[in-house]
Structure 1
Amino acid sequence: MGTHVIKMPDIGEGIAEVELSQWHVKVGDLVVEDQVLADVMTDKAMVDIPSPVHGKVIALGGQPGEVMAVGSVLISIEVEGAGNLKESAAPAAVKEAPVAPKVEVAVESKPAAAAAPRPAAVCQGPMVAREASERPLASPAVRKHALDLGIQLRLVRGTGPAGRVLHEDLETYLAQGQSNASAPAAAAYAQRNDEEQIQVIGMRRKIAQRMQDATQRAAHFSYVEEIDVTAIEELRAHLNEKHGASRGKLTLLPFLVRALVVALRDFPQMNARYDDEAQVITRLGAVHVGVATQSDVGLMVPVVRHAEARSLWDSAAEISRLANAARNGKASRDELSGSTITLTSLGALGGIVSTPVLNLPEVAIVGVNKIVERPMVVKGQVVIRKMMNLSSSFDHRVVDGMDAALFIQAIRGLLEQPATLFVE
């Protein structure tokens, strides 16, 4: 028998160290060639490390969360025969799942076909009691689904990363709730004194670092404007009725993208990146709109490139394609980088106001709140109108308050008079 020692590979791009995010094997496991051994995270991507040999794991070189130098010992595998006694680097040509720069990201790990399936988290009961003040991890879509089903989310056991509640957890909760209808309701109100510690590593560490970096480096300020979206909602409904079957349904997002494009013609300082180390502002003619997209494992920001050259339906199709790719972990690195301004929306859960964090090195982010019907005074008459707030943040090192207000008011004017979106 021999030992094959695998070193941390050189991922490229001048990276000297990476974070060990997750092991997919343990000491004593039998592994086969191309089986995924571990996930490591660079500043730009999550990378799968496959095994170059068949054998038995005899030693692991680090713990999840540990930052390891390129070339350090990653794992030792016992192999048949003499083995490769000299240390070798793990294959560098590994599959990587892209990480959106500066913002939260999600990734996909691809298990090898020959490897044993990874154990899935199993729900251990129909409910899990949390403190009333505890907010369980879940995406806005899952929260909306739970609300529609009449489920208290704090009672649902989450099987996603860090205990995140997934859509399938809601279905499991419902199914088990029906089969355990006779269980005492008092279980939901039982006192609890247990604690759980969750290590901040991998994706969550990158999210924390980037959000902290953004708030420390940029001089954030926010501006909120109220917009009457009655007319544009009527236009959207009309276009969907007339062209939805042949061209696809339009959401409000393509109209917002179009409004950004038109408004930026008069406010080019918003479509910019600021290199605070070089003290250089780069204004861009191309409008690459980052559209914040929630997934079950975090916020991703796929980029609609050259939005200035897209029609409503072209933008809608691209937003839908990128959102699906991001949620499924299929978005490429190019699709998750290079934005010049970001649009963020929580849809129906958007609340009244928010203070979005800048997607550095960008200098502006436009946040969309939910649409609500309210009585408004129009030409001396009280009428019901559809109203929506835009909650936007800017980098005060680059953008003056007056310019930010005028920019958002320009978007307001375009949305309230939707014909102006298409007048050249």
Structure 2
Amino acid sequence: HQIQFAPGDIVKVGETLLKMIVNGSQVVSHDSLASSPDIPLGVDTSTSPPREGNAPRGSLSTPAVRHLVKQYGLNIDDIRGTGRDGRVLKEDVLNYAARKGLVQELPSALEKNVGQVELPEGGKSLLDPHFYEDKRIPLRGYQRSMVKSMSLAAKVPHFHYLEEINCDALVQLKASFQKENNDHDIKHTFLPFLIKSLSVALSKYPLLNSSFIEETNEVILKGSHNIGVAMATAQGLVVPSIKKVQSLSILEVTKELSRLHEMALHNRLSINDITGGTITLSNIGAIGGKFGSPV
């Protein structure tokens, strides 16, 4: 057989991807060029083992605190929380780690970065001039698509506004909602509430859910609230969207968000999942962040 393209090349629909010799005759299988209806174009269907969640369900805490617990290798259920309703705070983790004598074992950011430096092949010294040569890395898959979409987004005028909100009422609402919907297969988080809240805001201020057509000098007010959620995967950043959020309940948003997250981790998102978004909601709390300015 003869493969017509190199790995990473962009192949247009209808182009010959592979030639094979069958019984001495050269045959081009056009059927093999057509995409299976179950496998959308441009989506890698390779599977990877599911990631085990590191967010304990028994104790209340923020993603940043859970990240800190993971760094120390602790079990959050062993830590007594001093926050509201027994919430585990950052200080609780640090105090518990100090009692265990683990404070000095947590590497600093500088030590982590040093540990990630890859020496040249053969273990050459950092003084070797070849160590400082530039490397050319081709972008493929999600990374290539992310660069294209971010380049287009960068052309749109941006503005940034920061506000802090007391969310005690939201915490109570989530707790009561979780009691009424105790399906153990569903992970209840604050994100579905924020997604639904954004949809309510878009109903009041529809201009936020619009696009500008420069050629005709028109603004298109989107009829559907297709809210995208940025997700980090092993293949790169991907932004699937929950369609028509204004017609969904919080439980339905929770289930759809869970489905998209599972499909993203297994690299099985469909074209419909990753297209058609009208507005995006980013959550950087999982990595310990407090504020960001996404493009």
TM-score category (smaller protein): 0.5 to 0.7
Among 122, 130, 136, the residue aligned to 1:197: 136
The answer to whether the aligner puts 1:285 opposite 2:226 as a matched pair is no
Among 147, 171, 175, the residue aligned to 2:71: 147
TM-score, length basis structure 2: 0.64
Residue 294 of structure 1: SS of its match in structure 2? Answer: strand
Match of 2:258 in 1: 320
Amino acid across the alignment from 1:147: Q
Taking the TM superposition and a 5 Å limit, the aligned residue runs for 1:258-407 are 258-357=196-295
Partners of 1:64 and 1:201 within 8 A in 2:
no
Amino acid across the alignment from 2:247: A
- CA offset at residue 343 of structure 1? 1.0
| CA distance, structure 2, for counterparts of residue 72 and residue 352 of structure 1 | 47
Match of 2:192 in 1: 254
Amino acid across the alignment from 1:208: V
The answer to whether the aligner puts 1:211 opposite 2:135 as a matched pair is no
| CA distance, structure 2, for counterparts of residue 265 and residue 235 of structure 1 | 22
- CA offset at residue 263 of structure 1? 1.4
- Among the aligned pairs, what percent are the same residue? 28
List alignment gaps of at least 5 residues for structure 2.
Answer: 48-63, 74-105
Among 77, 80, 86, the residue aligned to 2:23: 80
| CA distance, structure 2, for counterparts of residue 249 and residue 89 of structure 1 | 44
Partners of 2:192 and 2:253 within 8 A in 1:
yes
- CA offset at residue 64 of structure 1? 3.4
Residue 84 of structure 1: SS of its match in structure 2? Answer: strand
**Matched residue pairs, number?**
230
Amino acid across the alignment from 1:328: H
Of 250-259 and 144-153, more deviation after overlay is shown by: 144-153
Match of 2:7 in 1: 64
Partners of 1:98 and 1:331 within 8 A in 2:
no
Call closer, same or farther: CA 1:310–1:154 in 2, change over 3 Å. farther
Call closer, same or farther: CA 1:355–1:70 in 2, change over 3 Å. same
Residue 164 of structure 2: SS of its match in structure 1? Answer: strand
Call closer, same or farther: CA 1:200–1:291 in 2, change over 3 Å. closer
Partners of 1:293 and 1:323 within 8 A in 2:
yes
- CA offset at residue 109 of structure 1? 3.9
| CA distance, structure 2, for counterparts of residue 322 and residue 281 of structure 1 | 30
> What CA deviation, in whole Å up to 9, does each residue of 1:200-246 have, x standing for no partner?
3444333222211221x211222222222222123323432x22424
Partners of 1:295 and 1:327 within 8 A in 2:
yes
List alignment gaps of at least 5 residues for structure 1.
Answer: 1-56, 100-105, 111-139, 159-187, 358-424
Match of 1:229 in 2: 167
Q: Which has the higher helix share?
A: 2
Partners of 2:225 and 2:245 within 8 A in 1:
yes
The answer to whether the aligner puts 1:243 opposite 2:180 as a matched pair is yes
Residue 319 of structure 1: SS of its match in structure 2? Answer: helix
> What CA deviation, in whole Å up to 9, does each residue of 1:139-169 have, x standing for no partner?
x9xx8897355684774699xxxxxxxxxxx
Where relative contact order (Cα < 8 A, 6+ residues apart) is larger, the structure is: 2
Partners of 1:289 and 1:305 within 8 A in 2:
yes
Residue 138 of structure 2: SS of its match in structure 1? Answer: coil
- CA offset at residue 350 of structure 1? 4.9
| CA distance, structure 2, for counterparts of residue 70 and residue 226 of structure 1 | 49
Residue 189 of structure 2: SS of its match in structure 1? Answer: coil
| CA distance, structure 1, for counterparts of residue 195 and residue 265 of structure 2 | 20
| CA distance, structure 2, for counterparts of residue 155 and residue 353 of structure 1 | 27
| CA distance, structure 1, for counterparts of residue 44 and residue 200 of structure 2 | 34
Partners of 1:98 and 1:336 within 8 A in 2:
no
Q: Which has the higher strand share?
A: 1
Partners of 1:61 and 1:73 within 8 A in 2:
yes
Call closer, same or farther: CA 1:205–1:89 in 2, change over 3 Å. same
